[in-house]
Structure 1
Amino acid sequence: MGMTMTQKILAAHAGLESVEVGQLIEVSLDLVLGNDITTPVAIKSFDQMGIDQVFDQTKIAIVPDHFTPNKDIQSAEQCQMIRKFSKDMGIVNYFEVGEMGIEHGLIPEKGLVVPGDVAIGADSHTCTYGALGAFSTGVGSTDMAAGMATGKGWFKVPPAIKFNLKGSLQGWTSGKDVILYIIGLIGVDGALYKSMEFCGEGVASLTMDDRFTIANMAIEAGAKNGIFPVDDQTIDYVENYAMATRQFTIYEADEDAIYEQTIDIHLDQITSVVSFPHLPENTRNIEAVGDIEIDQVVIGSCTNGRIQDLREAAAIFKDQKVAKGMRAIVFPVTQRVYLQALREGLIETFILANVVVSTPTCGPCLGGHMGILAKGERALATTNRNFVGRMGHTESEVYLASPAVAAATAITGKITNPIDIVAVNMTRELKKEGGRI
C-alpha cells in the first residue's frame, strides 16, 4: 500500500517500513520549539519529571517573540525564566531581542528545519515548516517538555487531503489568498487532524514565501500539518542559509498513496480574498466586500512578515500616504528581513507613507501589545486568526487579507482592492508625462 509524504516521514522517524492511518507511533524528533508563553509551562513539567538535562542541546530552539520586547513585569519574568533555563541546559538555539525574530520566520532562516525532518513546537503555527517538505506540527507544553527530555513524540498517523494546484497566481494575489480561499472552501474544521498535502504543477509557480504562508495557516483548517513537495526552490532556500548544514532526505508521495479526498485548486481563478469576523472560513472575494471602514492595518506576523510581503506592501505604499486617522503598522518577521527591507529602501517607503515600522514581534496578532484594538474598532491584518477578541476588545473586529490588500486599505481607510491603488498610481504617472487614460 502506498504512503503519502507525511506517512513516509513519520514511518522513517519511527523506524518502521510503513505506517497506516490511525496507527499510534513513537517518533524521533529533529527539533523541539518553544516561545515565551509556552516554554515556562513546559519548564515546570520538565522539572516535575526530575530531568536534569535535555536530550540534545542543538535540537531545541527557544524564541521569546510573543510579548517581547517585554511589555510588562510578568512578560519580563517569563523571559527571565526561559533565559535561565536555556543557559543552564546549554541550549544552543536561544534567540532573543537583537538576534531574534518571530519564531516561524526565524527557524527556517536559521536552517534548523530541513526537508524530511520531524519538528514539534508548543505553538499551533509550527505547521509552517511543511513548506520545506518537513512534518511539523504544534503540540502542548507538556509534550514539549517530554520532547526536550527524551527527543521522542507520540502521534496518531493522520489521513490526508490532496490539494492539486493548477495554473499560477495572477495580479496581486499571493499565498495568503490561496489559503484563505481554501479555508473558505472547506471550513475551519475541513481538515481536522488531517494532513493537507499540496501538489501539482501549480506548486512551481509559488515562491517559498507563498508556501510558508499556506503551510502556516493549515492549522486554521484544523489540520495536523500542511506539507509541500521538495523542488529546486526548496533546495535553493535550504542551501542559501549557512546554518543549514545537515544532510536532508527528500520524501515523495507514492503514486498509489491513499487520500481521503482530492481537491483541485485553480490558482489563476483566485482573486484577492478577505476573511470576515469572526472565523477564517468567513471569506469573500475582494469584489464582494462592500464599503467597510477600517481603523488599523497590521502587516506582518509569522504568516506574512517576509520580504516578499514587505515588497508587495511597499509597492502599494510608494508615493502614497496612510489615510488620516488610520493606524498602519509593519512588523518584519526577523531582524534579517528587517535589514534586507532597509537595504532595499522599503523601510523608507513605509515611513514616508506614515506607516509605523516595529521590531519583530507577535504582539498585535494575539492582542498582546503594540496594536491592541479598543471597543468597536476594526482592524485588517495579514495575521492568521480573527476570533472574537483576538486583537483586543471582545467587541472589536478583525479582517484577514494579504499584504497588498492591507496596504491598499491603509491608504483609503476602507477595505480596498490593490488594483484600485495601482490604477491611481498609473494615472498620476501619466499626468506627469502629459498623457491620458
Structure 2
Amino acid sequence: MGMTMTQKILAAHAGLDSVSKGQLIKAKLDMVLGNDITSPVAINEFHKAGFTQVFDQNKISLVMDHFTPNKDIKAATQCKQCRTFADDMGIVNFYDVGDMGVEHGLLPEKGLVGPGELVIGADSHTCTYGALGAFSTGVGSTDMAAGMATGECWFKVPGAIKFNLTGKLGKHVSGKDVILHIIGLIGVDGALYKSMEFSGEGLSCLSIDDRLCMANMAIEAGAKNGIFEVDEVVMDYIKDKVFREVKSYKADADAEYDQTYDINLSEIKPTVAFPHLPENTRTIDNVGDVEIQQVVIGSCTNGRLSDMRIAAEILKGKKVKKGVRAIIIPATQKIYKEAMLNGYFEIFLDAGCVISTPTCGPCLGGHMGILAAGERAVATTNRNFVGRMGHPESEVYLASPAVAAASAIAGKIVSPEEVL
C-alpha cells in the first residue's frame, strides 16, 4: 500500500522505508516552536528534567506574540522568562517586541519552515505550515520541552482525508471561505487525528495566503495536520527564503484515504461561522440581520498583506459605521511596513479604523479588543468558542477579510457587494 504526503514525511524523519496508519514512531524534528504562553511551561519542564542545553540553537523558535506588548505583570514575567532562557541557551530565533510577529505569520516569512520538513509547536495552529508542504502540528508544552532537548518527538501516524479541489474561486471568495465551507461540511471532529490533504487542479487558483489560512484551520476540524501538494506557487514563495535542501512529497497513487471529498471552488460563496463553533456555517445569503459592535481583521489566519489589501479595497472612501470598532492587526512587522507603504493605513485611518502593532491580540481574549456581555464581533480569526474574545455572553462570527470589512461599514454582517 502506498503512502500519503504526511506518511512519507514521517517515514523519512523516522528513518523508515514506510509507515502506516496507527503506527507509533519517533521522528527527528526540523523546528520546535513556542510562544509567550506555552514556552514558560516547557522551560519549567526542561529544567525539571535536568536538561542543560538544546539540541540545535537554530532549530528552535520562541515568538512573543500572544500578550505582547505585555498587557500585565504576568505577561511581562512570562516574556522575561523566555528571554532569559533564549539568552542562556543561545537560541537564534527569538522574536520579541520590535522584530516579532504573530508566530504562524512570522516563521514562513522568515524561511524557518519549508517543504518536506517536520515541525512541532506548542500552539494548536502550528498546522499552518502544511501550506508549504511540511508536516506541522501542535503539541503540548511537555512535548515541546522534550523536543527542544532531544530534537525528536513521538507520533502516532495519522490516517488521512483527501480533498480534491477543482474549479476557481469567485469574486470576494478566498481560502477562508473554502476552509469554513469544509469545516461546515465535515464538522469540528470530522478529521479527528487525521491528515487533511489538499490536491487537485483547483490548487492553481489558490494563493499561498489562501493555503496558509486553510492549513491553519485544519485543527478546527480536529485534524492532526493539513498539508498541500508542493507546486509552483509554493516554490515561488520560498525561493528567496529557504536556504537548505527542499524536499517535497507527493502522495502515491495507491495511498489509502479514509474519505475523499470533491470540492468545486467555483461553487463556494462567502461563508460565515456563527457562534459558538467553526462548523456552524452559513453562506452570506443566509446570514439574516446580525448587527455587530466590533470587527477584527488580523490573526495567524488572516493577517497577511493580501488580507490587508482586500480590506483596504473595500474600505477605501468609506466610513466604519458609527458604534462599530474596527481593529486592524497586521501579522508581522514586515507586513505592517508594506501595508503602510502601500497606502492601506491611510485608507484604514480615514475610514475610522485603529491599527495595532503585530500581536495575537483579541483572538484568544488576550487584549486589544475584548468584548463585553451582549456584544458581537465579526473576526477573521479562527475560533469562535464561548468567551473566546472576552465575555462568555459575547459572540464571535468568523469570516473573511472581505466580509469583515464590508460588515464594518454596514454595522451588520453583509456581503462585500452590498457596500461597493
- Global fold match (TM > 0.5): yes
Distance of 1:283 and 1:345 partners within structure 2: 33
- Supply the AA of the counterpart residue of 1:245: F
* Residue aligning to 2:214: 214
* Residue aligning to 2:361: 363
RMSD: 0.5
* Residue aligning to 1:55: 55
Distance of 1:248 and 1:404 partners within structure 2: 34
- Supply the AA of the counterpart residue of 1:137: T
Cα deviation, residue 233, structure 1: 1.0
- Supply the AA of the counterpart residue of 1:53: Q
* Residue aligning to 1:84: 84
* Residue aligning to 2:190: 190
* Residue aligning to 1:409: 407
Aligned partner of residue 365 in structure 1, secondary structure: helix
Distance of 1:240 and 1:229 partners within structure 2: 19
Distance of 2:25 and 2:203 partners within structure 1: 30
* Residue aligning to 1:306: 304
Aligned partner of residue 177 in structure 2, secondary structure: helix
Cα deviation, residue 240, structure 1: 2.7
Query: Which residues of 2 match residues 219-230 of structure 1 at below 5 A?
Result: 219-230=219-230
* Residue aligning to 1:435: none
Distance of 1:418 and 1:10 partners within structure 2: 42
Query: Which residues of 2 match residues 6-405 of structure 1 at below 5 A?
Result: 6-241=6-241, 244-405=242-403
Distance of 2:304 and 2:403 partners within structure 1: 16
- Supply the AA of the counterpart residue of 2:264: H
Question: What are the superposed Cα offsets for residues 304-360 of structure 1, whole Å, 9 maximum, x if unpaired?
Answer: 000111111000000000000110000001000111111111111111101101001
* Residue aligning to 1:430: none
> Gapped runs of 5+ residues in structure 2?
none
Aligned partner of residue 364 in structure 1, secondary structure: helix
Question: What are the superposed Cα offsets for residues 271-303 of structure 1, whole Å, 9 maximum, x if unpaired?
Answer: 000000000000000000001100000000000
> Gapped runs of 5+ residues in structure 1?
423-437
Distance of 2:368 and 2:160 partners within structure 1: 38
Distance of 1:116 and 1:37 partners within structure 2: 28
- Supply the AA of the counterpart residue of 1:325: G
Cα deviation, residue 250, structure 1: 1.0
Aligned partner of residue 109 in structure 1, secondary structure: helix
- Supply the AA of the counterpart residue of 2:352: N
Distance of 1:387 and 1:250 partners within structure 2: 35
Question: What are the superposed Cα offsets for residues 394-428 of structure 1, whole Å, 9 maximum, x if unpaired?
Answer: 00000000000000000010001001112xxxxxx
Distance of 2:411 and 2:299 partners within structure 1: 21
TM-score in terms of structure 2 length: 1.00
Task: Indicate the structure (1 or 2) with the bigger Cα radius of gyration.
Answer: 1
- Supply the AA of the counterpart residue of 1:248: V
Question: What are the superposed Cα offsets for residues 9-55 of structure 1, whole Å, 9 maximum, x if unpaired?
Answer: 00000000000000000000000000000000000100011011000
Distance of 1:90 and 1:239 partners within structure 2: 28
Aligned partner of residue 69 in structure 2, secondary structure: coil
- Supply the AA of the counterpart residue of 1:408: A
Aligned length: 420
Distance of 1:212 and 1:72 partners within structure 2: 31
- Supply the AA of the counterpart residue of 1:161: I
Aligned partner of residue 85 in structure 1, secondary structure: helix
Distance of 1:45 and 1:411 partners within structure 2: 48
Question: What are the superposed Cα offsets for residues 121-168 of structure 1, whole Å, 9 maximum, x if unpaired?
Answer: 000000000000000000000000000000000000000000000001
Distance of 1:325 and 1:250 partners within structure 2: 49
Question: What are the superposed Cα offsets for residues 76-126 of structure 1, whole Å, 9 maximum, x if unpaired?
Answer: 000000000000000000011111100000000010001000000000000
Cα deviation, residue 248, structure 1: 1.3
Cα deviation, residue 224, structure 1: 0.1
Aligned partner of residue 22 in structure 2, secondary structure: coil
Distance of 2:239 and 2:193 partners within structure 1: 32
- Supply the AA of the counterpart residue of 2:266: D
- Supply the AA of the counterpart residue of 1:277: P
Distance of 1:335 and 1:100 partners within structure 2: 7
Cα deviation, residue 239, structure 1: 1.1
Distance of 2:306 and 2:220 partners within structure 1: 22
Cα deviation, residue 247, structure 1: 1.0
Aligned partner of residue 361 in structure 2, secondary structure: coil
Runs of 4+ in 1 over 4 A off after TM superposition: none
Distance of 2:203 and 2:257 partners within structure 1: 18
- Supply the AA of the counterpart residue of 2:74: Q
Distance of 2:233 and 2:202 partners within structure 1: 13
